[in-house]
């Protein structure tokens, strides 16, 4: 397309270098919308437990882009995707998280926004990005948005960006392991790329790569249970969710905030207000929480104080044996307090299996005789994990110290 005169590189601790050889990619990285991702940390609650993990969605997004760049060196993929599709793949990889806001999970729950919807609109509606993409062709922005929304129009690219084995997860599992310092789970990326094939318009892995796939899935399992579902990390997210909830409810009751919550107000009124959404980065939210420690509302003040000063909420298993204790604890709160100071949280025991499996929820395996099987058929470990998944979900009850 618009090849750069000279390939540019950015130093990356995981991949050595991020390689940029297209003007489009370079320009997208320089937009304020993409630079904004520097101000949104990749792991919200988790960084409170794993202090090394202070990296942002900016860093992760560059990583996913680089994986797209590298996957395109796989001969079969390179030959299957024409030049436009290759750029589409790289662009979608770079922008796949563009719609993320601060502390997304809790935020999306309370304020009813969806980062993929928002990302798609940023790509098609904001001049800054739209005008760059329009230099490719008039449908390019629309097509990138379509991939973000997983509409199924570009199945191979969507599969590569979002499936059981995709470049999004491949980057974040390795990157989060690198920054947290959890040794588990080095993924053999070279091997996965070598065993990847395209058959009947679908991604498939040859049986000789089954150990690399197993290893990837086990890494994922461990990262989920040891890092992403760490109970203390989740305690932070519980408090944050309560803060968001209190702000929303106070606003709806016409509470007069001293802090400037303007963007939040507008977003409650109109969840489609992109301008407001864009302002809500980690800096904004943290500044807000900081100012809430002086709020006249005692609930908000307490929650903000718990969040900032590491009063980590305690949790116990939410099982039969603890019901009496839980009821006892709950009885110490009045009705309003109950809403803000207690929480029941469920971690699906299958979550690591299919948390993102909208497309391609099955991993296809190409046998030596060219017939197609599934990973579950071929892998003893995967089978074991599947069987184990039948067990019950894990439930926790959280409350302040």
Positions in the binding site for its own copies (CB under 8 A): 9-14, 16-17, 30, 32, 35, 38-39, 50-52, 54-56, 58-59, 62, 178-184, 186-188, 190, 194, 211, 214-215, 218, 221-222, 225-226, 279, 282-284, 286-287, 290, 308-310, 349, 380-381, 383-389, 391
Closest approach, Cβ 184 to its own copies, in A, equals 5
Nearer Cβ to its own copies (56/164): 56
CB closer to its own copies, 88 vs 304: 304
Residue 188 or 337 having the CB closest to its own copies: 188
Nearest distance from C-beta of residue 349 to its own copies, angstroms: 8
Smallest gap from Cβ 283 to its own copies, in A, equals 5
Least distance (Å) between residue 32 CB and its own copies: 5
Q: How far is the CB of 256 from its own copies (least distance, A)?
A: 17
256/380 with CB nearer its own copies: 380
Task: Give min distance, CB of 379 to its own copies, in A.
Answer: 9
Q: State which residue, 154 or 352, has the beta carbon closest to its own copies.
A: 352
CB of 72 or CB of 381, closer to its own copies: 381
What is the residue whose two structure tokens read 């207000």?
273
- Cβ-based nearer residue to its own copies, 82 or 380: 380
Nearest distance in Å: CB 160, its own copies: 21
Cα separation, 355 vs 333, whole angstroms: 34
């Amino acid at each position: 397309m618009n090849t750069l005169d000279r390939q540019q590189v950015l130093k990356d601790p995981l991949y050595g270098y991020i390689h940029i050889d297209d003007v489009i990619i370079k320009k997208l990285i320089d937009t304020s919308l993409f630079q904004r991702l520097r101000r949104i940390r990749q792991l919200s609650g988790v960084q409170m437990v794993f202090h090394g993990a202070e990296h942002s969605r900016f860093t992760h997004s560059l990583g996913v882009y680089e994986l797209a760049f590298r996957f395109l060196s796989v001969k079969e993929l390179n030959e299957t995707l024409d030049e436009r599709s290759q750029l589409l793949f790289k662009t979608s990889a770079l922008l796949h998280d563009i719609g993320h806001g601060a502390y997304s999970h809790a935020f999306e729950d309370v304020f009813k926004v969806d980062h993929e919807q928002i990302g798609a609109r940023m790509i098609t509606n904001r001049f800054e990005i739209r005008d760059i993409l329009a230099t490719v062709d008039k449908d390019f922005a629309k097509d990138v948005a379509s991939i973000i929304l997983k509409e199924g129009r570009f199945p191979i690219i969507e599969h590569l960006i979002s499936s059981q084995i995709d470049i999004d997860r491949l980057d974040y599992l390795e990157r989060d392991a690198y920054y947290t310092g959890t040794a588990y789970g080095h993924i053999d990326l070279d091997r996965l790329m070598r065993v990847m094939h395209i058959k009947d318009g679908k991604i498939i892995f040859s049986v000789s790569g089954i150990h690399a796939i197993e290893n990837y899935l086990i890494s994922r399992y461990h990262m989920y249970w040891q890092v992403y579902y760490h109970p203390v990390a989740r305690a932070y997210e519980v408090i944050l969710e309560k803060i968001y909830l209190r702000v929303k409810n106070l606003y709806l009751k016409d509470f007069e905030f001293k802090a400037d919550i303007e963007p939040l107000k507008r977003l409650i009124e109109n969840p489609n207000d992109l301008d407001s959404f864009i302002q809500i980065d980690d800096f904004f939210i943290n500044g807000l929480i900081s100012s809430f420690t002086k709020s006249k509302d005692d609930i908000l003040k307490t929650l903000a104080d718990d969040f900032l000063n590491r009063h980590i909420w305690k949790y116990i298993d939410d099982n039969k044996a603890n019901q009496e204790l839980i009821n006892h604890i709950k009885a110490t709160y009045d009705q309003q307090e109950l809403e803000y100071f207690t929480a029941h949280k469920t971690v699906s025991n299958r979550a690591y299996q299919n948390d993102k499996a909208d497309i391609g929820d099955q991993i296809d395996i190409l046998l030596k005789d060219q017939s197609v099987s599934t990973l579950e058929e071929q892998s003893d470990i995967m089978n074991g994990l599947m069987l184990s998944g039948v067990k019950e979900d894990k439930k926790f009850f959280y409350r302040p110290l």
